[in-house]
Structure 1
Amino acid sequence: MKISFLLHNAYGIGGTITTTFNLAQALATVGHTVEIVSVLRHRERPNFQLDPRVGLRPLVDLRQEKEHPQHLRPAKVFPAAEYRYRQYSELTDERIGACLADIDADVVVGTRPGLNVHLALQAPERVARVGQEHLTLDNHPSRLRTALRRAYRRLDVLTTVTEADAAAYRRKMRLPGVRVEALPNSVPDPALPPADGNAKLVVAAGRLVPVKRYDLLIEAFARVVAERPDWRLRIYGKGEEHDRLRALTESLGLSENVFLMGAAAPMEAEWVKGSIGAAASNFEPFGMTIVEAMRCGLPVVSTDCPYGPGEIIEDGVDGRLVPVGDAAAFGAALLELVQDDERRHRMGRSALDNARRFAPGPVVAQAERLMEEAIEARRAGRPVSQDRAPMRQILVGRGYAARDAVHATGSSALRTVRKGRR
């Protein structure tokens, strides 16, 4: 297959960029021709390393075209209710439309709602159209949901990153003829040996923005330091909350225990230095950093926020889930793992094992199947079948190990099995 991904800005930093690069590279590795079309560009090279087998082409270079007359006029195709609307323009409308009109891909994958609208409305009839949802339906304002409901009916497939969000789309959006299916984000197989769980270090990573609640994490860690002052917390990332978080750290007397490390890419070398991962968000559509930490052998303490963490972590087995906004509960969960070396090591091993379902192999197999079915349906002039083959059957048929096939069957099924064992 020839596959094109339509991405907002491949030269920035963020979860959607990471997951798009991961999936594009994994698809290229198994023999597909893959390119990423970046609507915007603001620097010479991407922040993240991209496999040379994956093509990358920008449409609007902000270094030269930020003041272009068309870029100063508002977009008409990109929906006005979309979060990124102010970054789009008459110029991006024109360039995206021209790109789609001439594209020679078998399938084009949109990676955010506004780009999915472009894809649905402007892609040639011969091209299979796959829209991705990297946030959640309920996170979008009602005006945007209305615009998406109208446009998305022209997609072939819509993927979400959790089963919960796929169910919400099926229930609320009424998209006849559109296949809606959960496709989790993947994390490449680690190149480094996993963490051994002996370091007295908790690691967190992500944008320093209010929804990530690093303030709560720091307050929770103060409870750990009160009992175990030899432990440290490292927070990787950059963002608007940096100065406030530094001031909070100093006010709590944690300057020797809590460190704002700045951005690091890739994060794998930093995860393996730790013994516990942490995520304190109020809202997490998936939880990419949770998976990254687990794939490096760290149990993760996370808030049980909508939607992702509860589909990734099994509480008490490979991490801990605590109520949203509860610093005391978060601190207690961290301290539980800090003080119990045997449990921390055991949960780290479980995290490493359970996170294999997010390896490229299982996720790529599912993505390939969806794309192939979309192409076949588009060529036959019919909707994509809604009958979903069991993931175990698909993966075993493609030569993946039985254990990885079981992991890939979906978090909801895994949770059902787990509950039955208790």
Structure 2
Amino acid sequence: MNAVLDELTWRGFIAHSTDPDALASHLDAGPISFYVGFDPTAPSLHMGNLVQLMLARRFQAGGHRPILLVGGSTGLIGDPRQSSERVMNPKDLVHEWVERIRAQVSQFVDFDGPSAATVVNNYDWTAELSTLDFLRDVGKHFSVNRMLDREVVKARLETGISYTEFSYVLLQSLDFRELYKRHGCTLQTGGSDQWGNITAGVELIRRSEGARVHALATPLMTKADGTKFGKTESGAVWLDPAMTSPYAFHQFFLNAEDAKVAEYLRIFTTRSQEEIDDLARQTVETPHLRAAQRALADDITDLVHSPAERQAATDAAAALFGRAELASLPEATVAAVCEELGAHRLDVGTELPTVVDLLAASGVVASKSAARRAIEEGGAYLNNEKVTNPDARVLGDQLLHGRYVVTRRGKRTVGAIELAR
């Protein structure tokens, strides 16, 4: 098999391929152009999208040319979901998100050298396409019977599906054909939930151009219980630091399950098979050290954000439990830590609250009387300073950046308060 496909196989990137042997021969014959698409259905990409970007990086490292498509037109419609019809976003908002996502995807590939990447927008070839031309040149190659047989369509037939979403597959297939014509693109990649759309594009090119092209899909990332990977209680894990802070991002991967961490290391890092096998062994033998999780969190935060942001996240985690100075953390990091801790907002007047009030309000103790007991027992802390006087009030110079307080009971129970005056 081809060296790139060998690498992708052991790393677990391949769920489906139209013809693995034919694709291997195609890759061996010389550098190819391949593409993966991202619809702007939100202002940022999320962790599921990062799987595709890592795949693109792997192909580019193997000498192949990535085309990253941002769906300015398909994003106006939305790929059908199993559950219900998508809400169509305003055009100007979608166009704004296109530019944001264009900037995001550009961080992950190189634009120089013989394997230089290209970023395209499918709005460029669909905006002026007439309905008649679309029906004649694209629609005539699609069987309604085949379209009705798609799993997502079957799931929606009882509740209803609009013609708009039903026809999404035609637009995505058109993208593959346009990129084949314009850039010689001969491979489309995507998640396994896109397999029907991807293979429809392969078939359109065969029917209309008489050419053979290829498709490859990655497995959907899941947690050990089978639920979708990349979700927290508050929602998706975004790549935009304004939507998921580098601290929260780093923490998400630090909390990866032992049963899945090796899988995530293979997908999201460049570590060798030997390194990952060793980290997997440590997970079995010394799980409390969480060596694999630390390697995963550090590597992926370095890639998506920066080594400096990763260091800030590491310092913040240490500071929470008294192993570093909270006061030395930048305000943005403190704010992210407090948000991750579910900081309560406390409106205060000219007089700042007592330490008992803060401990109780932050939830590290069940009541004010429990706060007093914790102080008397020597186990209560404000911003890592031990509290000794239950009647004391917090002072202005004790606040982090003038408004934040991190509370702690014992070694592990941590909370936060944001004071509003």
Task: Please indicate the TM-score interval, normalised by the length of the shorter structure.
Answer: under 0.3
Determine which structure has more spread, i.e. the larger CA radius of gyration: 2
Point out the structure with the larger helix share. Answer: 2
